[in-house]
Structure 1
């Protein structure tokens, strides 16, 4: 029996078309701006100046007596950060708890946009319960550099995957009345002295890789955008008029409020004239500098009004000034939120290697050891990090495994070779804690690396469990391990999902949203840190900017990021983009599509996916496009469609894609627009960027 699964993919800016969906926007933009003008006319000059910057660290300014209350903003993408450093904690009733969800890169590994909606909806409901109007997420920078300490906050290396997930995240979040904020705009792919970096990025890379996820979020109706710390081609992003006015407002059509990242700008006149709407949280000298600029005639009161207008209009558009601040009834949904966290972890866990040891049957002696047996591997590493979400009812790895395997699980902190060899199975937990403001080495510490090697050499039934926010070096032990599982930062229920996958209750279905290279020197980001620079791991060092000069990051790989780089350059990675194993097997039929791309309608491509194994499972069908004789540098292939399909054993489904002609386009620097060359193209269908089952030629007239 066959079922049919359709996927419409139209590409307006090299990203999936997102149907306009201004979720929970209660006032249309034109009317919101008209009302904003009326409100601004009631403000004194001092009040207008106050709206130009944050009221405090996590509030927008307000004038409650004029019907404009203060607006509360909270981190982060993967749940509600419980702040203990609010400058005026009496302004809100803090939540007593918040759900710790798996990190966003784990969400991306599900390749399931509907889960992104559920995930964000749950976070948004907790925000509404706690009086939080704006959630400072989703994070959506591109995974260019595996050493970046914030990769865990983002959606991977591919702009189509990131766009699809971000669009549903925005819709899910804003369906609750909590307004999302896209960050960090733009090309902020490093954390090494991030306030000192200058990203040098060409026009094609900007449009083909880095802008599409933002475009997708904007098309989904997002209310806020946060600019980034770095310079872009020489100017700080938060005071860059070309970036904010021409690209964000003009090309992407954003009508909401732009805020700076915290303490990321320095030139008040440029800030006022750049299109920036709120300097966050605001420098102490800000008010004096604005008044001096007014006195000198370098800015006018009209300039101030133009700056604050989108901030006030966005609050009006989303009804933030005219609603009950707290919705305590939503606290009853915590059990459903916990289930959503479990579901995301279950679908995001990636099985990278399995020599048939998994699923792991009961009745075997299990030696559990390693880094995260009793510790929940949380992103951020401390409550001072914006991404830290503590969660509640946290389930440790030890507890989750004992729930399934009982007393067969023995925890040994530092096992000897003899103890390792004597176990039926060794479960070894390893990984990293990635942190905002820090880079970290691709390689694990030498002691950790040696421990893993000892384990896999002592016992061939060693299963390595990795928790990290991005790729790590695994070449020294990967081939000797019986199995390798990537579990990311799993949130409060993720280890329960992992235990269910180990036992076979669930079949793994996660796919890598990024490439894992063999060595960092294989990566296009290998020169990101300045020559001679050293990693640091202490906050005082991270924020002491006098220790380093401004430095350039040359995105010289241009449009070749991730699998685009490795495939085009002929560099074999350890694990390719889109890869992930299952406990069942799948087969793709020969695909079907017209040989000539229609002139006035989408190209329809269909392929049959069959579960050829003996148990239910899910597979991600991936569609890539190649221009056979490009006139400019283009990747060997580019992801242009994907679909996750769950099938019972022996069942089949027809997966249909519809490709708009724009799926073939590249950014033309001459016309400063999208261009499709006539000629021959190849469509490739498979289950990862490297595992292509079939190809089809198609001509474009």
Structure 2
């Protein structure tokens, strides 16, 4: 009997252990399924050749330059439609001056907030929703996603992009492309290449070495191309002495050659100045194809108006013009636009779904930077809110601006979530002290065409310090498209929430994070420096005549004619930091940022353990499997972003201290453990060798690093690499 009882007890213990083991689910980092056009490129090219054979040279030339600012001419007799091109990455920008526009479009959270979600699946949903609104609005081509790397925090268009790390940007961009194009809307990768600031972008000459180009600034474009992107837009700036859109090296050699891009290459609006170079560069479409009042003084430099004369003079060939026209025609054929309408009004019924995706994006992308036991706030606390963007929604400006509908202000969202809210633009000492918590809303309005200041105004900093001195339970909400200086008050306030630009209903997400209804899970896709002088590009704005350096008026940098002034002296902007961008720079130079790349707080707590590698001796091109566990050690359901970095312990060339090569966002119930599996390839350990024009690994030791921020590595294991 005793033996029988013993057997039963042992069996129960074994079953219990077995059941516990089964509860640990293994989750892998996903790979995206590339977009395949409805009609193969081979068939589309063949049909385009048939059409070209029936066109006059004048008809071909009409195709290779834009019309009416935002359109590409069609060929009615061949059922090739006129194409409408619309901005931008964070939603449909409604151009009120044009007829036939959508009555409304969803204002999604800005792309840098989307990057803060570290969620590729959500990125695909986000892009899919925007693509559906494009279809509803008869938009054939979305002029996005933007993917220029965050090099300097002053860049006025950082809010349109996906942060400082090429690996993170690549994984999100590939999902954006697939999500967008699965709706039948063309995605346009922009701006190729090295358009990393807005300060007089048209007369900036970026000096960049080949290795830096390949390791930092090209990867996101390659990821988008590999995911099936159908269009690419060249940038405004010069790259190593030549404007990008007319650079044969960039367009023909790199983009169409090395990256094997088969789609349509267009210029940005008024960004090329030599029609001969443009035609011979490999660019297919010059936009907008003609001058407007602001550019008339620079003469007739347009492809459409010059091509026939240049052909007659023997300065360009009909073959070059044919190549351009062929890619314009084949785009429509490959997307099936000769067989179906661009416009599909059935998507108008999906706007409520799009609002939910916008809200979910804000919930996952708002980043909690600091919390000294002040958050979450119970609903019955007395709360004072003050500052800017309380009654109006902060958003980025320029071609990417989306106004939205059903807009929810911060004040309205907080009033809905809390019972006792007081708003005061300029609160008295009594108002500050009698409330349990003070929320100060600050921020910037970032804009295409000029860069912003990193520093806030002295008045704003003084206000924050004064309020905090009277009420220690002060929370700052930051509304901005990139990092700002927080050093004057970072140590004084109890909480900081980086809300970015939350979109039309993202303030609801903000209010829910403040109340605890939503557990924050956003992680920074950038490093936030203590002062701008710490930045790798700190001296990029030259000390030139005041006429050109601009003045700050009401928070906006104002220049003579802004960035359209082609008389502004060319400025060489040398990327002296090379591959050391963002956290790569701060760690290698031993400069501690205020907040590190990948950082973000949660109301939950997490534990990492059990790092295992499939081998510790990697040989040749074999892959490495990495597994580890993440446990939610709290009783609050929350999401954590596990980050995998690689460190080359000893290298013959300068390499960063570490480089992100894997990440996975996981949602865990209280007490739950999940096993994460990631696979590394030989490319992940490589650097770009400018001598051999290839990616190479040096034999030696590497560290596999696992953590939840670039400055918080929790697990580590060494491997060696060798060749047979």
Same fold (TM over 0.5): yes
Residue 556, structure 1, aligned to residue 576, structure 2 = yes
Query: 5+ residue gaps in structure 2?
Result: 1-19, 292-299
1:589 paired residue among 609, 633, 640: 609
Residue 661, structure 1, aligned to residue 682, structure 2 = yes
Contact in 1 for aligned 2:387/2:442 (Cα 8 Å): yes
1:507 paired residue among 519, 531, 546: 519
Distance 1:239 1:546 in 2: 16
2:56 matched to which residue of 1? 44
Residues 564 and 543 of structure 1: CA distance in aligned 2, closer, same or farther (over 3 Å):
closer
Distance 2:462 2:427 in 1: 13
Contact in 2 for aligned 1:8/1:659 (Cα 8 Å): no
Tell me the CA shift for residue 307 of structure 1: 1.8
Contact in 1 for aligned 2:29/2:664 (Cα 8 Å): no
1:397 paired residue among 401, 404, 410: 410
**1:201-244 Cα shifts (integer Å, max 9, x gaps):** 11111000110000000011010000000001111000000111
2:137 matched to which residue of 1? 130
Tell me the CA shift for residue 396 of structure 1: 0.4
Contact in 2 for aligned 1:365/1:423 (Cα 8 Å): yes
Residue 677, structure 1, aligned to residue 701, structure 2 = no
1:59 paired residue among 48, 67, 71: 71
**1:223-278 Cα shifts (integer Å, max 9, x gaps):** 00000000011110000001111110111110000000000001000000000000
Distance 1:144 1:267 in 2: 29
Distance 2:621 2:484 in 1: 46
1:648 matched to which residue of 2? 669
**1:637-687 Cα shifts (integer Å, max 9, x gaps):** 000000001100111001111111111000001101100111000111000
SS in 2 for 1:478: coil
Whose Rg is larger? 2
Distance 1:464 1:177 in 2: 42
Distance 1:543 1:572 in 2: 34
Residue 362, structure 1, aligned to residue 362, structure 2 = no
Tell me the CA shift for residue 535 of structure 1: 4.8
Residue 638, structure 1, aligned to residue 655, structure 2 = no
Give 1:421-500 correspondences, 5 Å limit: 421-500=433-512
Residue 21, structure 1, aligned to residue 35, structure 2 = yes
Contact in 1 for aligned 2:27/2:674 (Cα 8 Å): no
1:622 matched to which residue of 2? 643
Root-mean-square deviation (CA), in Å?
A: 1.4
1:12 matched to which residue of 2? none
Contact in 2 for aligned 1:4/1:656 (Cα 8 Å): no
Distance 1:490 1:56 in 2: 33
Tell me the CA shift for residue 20 of structure 1: 3.5
**1:677-699 Cα shifts (integer Å, max 9, x gaps):** 11000111000000110211000
1:297 matched to which residue of 2? 314
Tell me the CA shift for residue 540 of structure 1: 5.2
SS in 2 for 1:597: strand
2:587 paired residue among 556, 559, 567: 567
Contact in 2 for aligned 1:367/1:426 (Cα 8 Å): yes
Tell me the CA shift for residue 18 of structure 1: 5.1
Tell me the CA shift for residue 40 of structure 1: 1.2
Distance 1:592 1:546 in 2: 57
Single out whichever of 524-533 and 390-399 deviates more from structure 2.
Answer: 524-533
Contact in 2 for aligned 1:18/1:216 (Cα 8 Å): no
Distance 2:351 2:320 in 1: 45
2:223 paired residue among 216, 225, 228: 216
What TM-score results when the alignment is normalised by the length of structure 1?
0.95
1:274 matched to which residue of 2? 281
Distance 2:489 2:610 in 1: 37
Contact in 2 for aligned 1:439/1:535 (Cα 8 Å): no
2:47 matched to which residue of 1? 35
**1:272-321 Cα shifts (integer Å, max 9, x gaps):** 00000000001343344222212211112222111221111111111123
Residue 309, structure 1, aligned to residue 326, structure 2 = yes
1:118 matched to which residue of 2? 125
SS in 2 for 1:191: coil
Residues 132 and 438 of structure 1: CA distance in aligned 2, closer, same or farther (over 3 Å):
same
Contact in 1 for aligned 2:29/2:678 (Cα 8 Å): yes
Distance 1:267 1:512 in 2: 41
Query: 5+ residue gaps in structure 1?
Result: 10-16
Single out whichever of 670-679 and 524-533 deviates more from structure 2.
Answer: 524-533
Residue 225, structure 1, aligned to residue 242, structure 2 = no
Tell me the CA shift for residue 547 of structure 1: 5.6
Contact in 1 for aligned 2:550/2:558 (Cα 8 Å): no
Contact in 2 for aligned 1:208/1:666 (Cα 8 Å): yes
1:13 matched to which residue of 2? none
Number of aligned residue pairs: give it: 682
1:14 matched to which residue of 2? none
Single out whichever of 437-446 and 447-456 deviates more from structure 2.
Answer: 447-456
Distance 1:85 1:260 in 2: 23
2:114 matched to which residue of 1? 107
Tell me the CA shift for residue 19 of structure 1: 4.5
Distance 1:226 1:251 in 2: 17
Distance 1:8 1:511 in 2: 17
SS in 1 for 2:337: coil
Tell me the CA shift for residue 56 of structure 1: 1.9
